[in-house]
Structure 1
């Protein structure tokens, strides 16, 4: 907590992937998680931390902006639930944002050390995403949470919370007033028309995901308010 803003932390332990098709535990989990997030004041920044028992895969085109460019593995049903929840609540899975070695992304190991997965995550709201400088696993035995089984390894995010609110705008928010500028308005329309020329899809969901992605790309380029950030342009591109 600082004088400028507050940060809320939610510790998570999600049900395992159902093997019998019974999703009642997952339904109850995400209902409770949504209730917890809804209780957080709107101006707060949010961290979701813990074992989600979910594999989110690497289909960034479908799940942008909640999923970064560097996911691993294949999406499972728990992963689908998590990704859908993150997109609905405007959250970013920071483990997938940064291009670390695979060994620095895996968080769960069986005792044989051959079966591995990424199922533990650091998830933040997009408002906070620009302050995350990296998220990676800590490999050393001293950082293992469960010393007996050594199945889960600690995840370490590096966070820079030196943020300031400027006027009525949040860091990285859109300045919609700029659309009143005739030149910017024409640029926006031209870029949007170009992006949507090749709009083709096999189903409504794919079409919506593609349309939403292209809208975000144009808005990011034309309307995003320029603010100072401790991150370089490369890191910002990874997130957005």
Structure 2
């Protein structure tokens, strides 16, 4: 059963087998234009939700993070692969730090794809994608 945490975070715990579970955290993160206090509140709430999940659960953190993490993975080799796109923005740095803290991987950077398939949105003027 889905459990709403806020207007930006929802969780669902699914049984996989007798004693195994998967927890899905679905998010819609604040955009770059949101004030820093909104971003901080969101990521603090996400960290709180994460801390309440049993460590034995399989975890999927999915959603729209409104970030660009770039292609340079030298600083984050355990968090991202070599197949990002563009340059990291400030929201991307926040997400990468969170993934590092939680020992998560940004999986879509692990797979080689055409650049046009890597963005979910393109800024109409700058043509920068996220």
TM-score, length-scaled by structure 1: 0.45
Corresponding residue for residue 10 of structure 2: none
Q: Is residue 8 from structure 1 mapped to residue 20 from structure 2 by the alignment?
A: no
Kept in 2, the 8 Å contact 1:10–1:49? The answer is yes
Structure 1 residue 74, shift from structure 2 partner:
0.7
More strand by share: 2
Residue 97 of structure 1: aligned partner: 110
Q: Aligned residue for 1:25?
A: 38
Instruction: Tell whether 2:51 aligns with 1:38.
Output: yes
Say if 1:67 and 1:97, in contact at 8 Å, map to a contact too.
yes
- What is the root-mean-square deviation of aligned Cα atoms in Å? 2.0
Q: Which runs of 4+ in 1 moved over 4 A?
A: none
Larger helix share, 1 or 2: 1
When residues 94 and 113 of structure 1 are mapped into structure 2, their CA distance, relative to the original with a 3 A threshold, is: farther
Aligned 1:222-233 pairs, distance under 5 A: none
Question: Contact 1:107 / 1:116 at 8 angstroms: preserved in 2?
Answer: no
Please show how residues 42-81 of structure 1 align to structure 2 within 5 Å. 42-81=55-94
**Cα separation, 2, equivalents of 1:7 and 1:96:** 22
Measure how far apart 1:116 and its partner are: 4.9
CA distance in 1, matches of 2:36, 2:122: 24
Aligned to 1:122: none
Separation in 2 of the partners of 1:114 and 1:30?
A: 27
Matched residue, 2:11: none
Q: 1:115 and 2:127 equivalent?
A: yes
Q: Could you tell me how far 1:114 is from its partner in structure 2? A: 8.0
Identify unmatched segments of 5+ residues in structure 2.
1-14
| Structure 1 unmatched ranges of 5 or more | 119-240
